[in-house]
Amino acid sequence: MQEQATRIETPATGVAENDDGTRRGEGAPSAALSKSVRTKQGKILARC
């Protein structure tokens, strides 16, 4: 039961990070920084 819960969380985070174009798992912190930079460019706003 617990293994299935962890598997559901891993792809969920991977999808969000893939949109930012960052790495999976380790790319989470860098994704937040890239979001602030891309918001200035307006690319993320178009995707959202």
Share above pLDDT 70 across residues of the chain, in percent, rounded to a whole number:
0
Per-residue CA distances from 7 to 12, 14, 26, 29, 42 (Å):
9, 11, 17, 20, 32
pLDDT at 20: 54
Check residue 45 and give its pLDDT.
54
Question: What phi-psi label fits residue 23: left (phi over 0), alpha (psi between -120 and 50 degrees) or beta?
Answer: beta
Cα 48 from chain centroid (whole Å): 13
- Domain around 23: 2-47
Q: Which amino acid is at 8?
A: I
Using CA atoms, how far residue 40 sits from 11, 13, 21, in Å, is 28, 23, 16
pLDDT for residue 14: 45
Total structural domains within the chain:
1
What's residue 2's pLDDT? 57
Over the stretch 32-44, which tens digit does the pLDDT of each residue have? 555 555 555 555 5
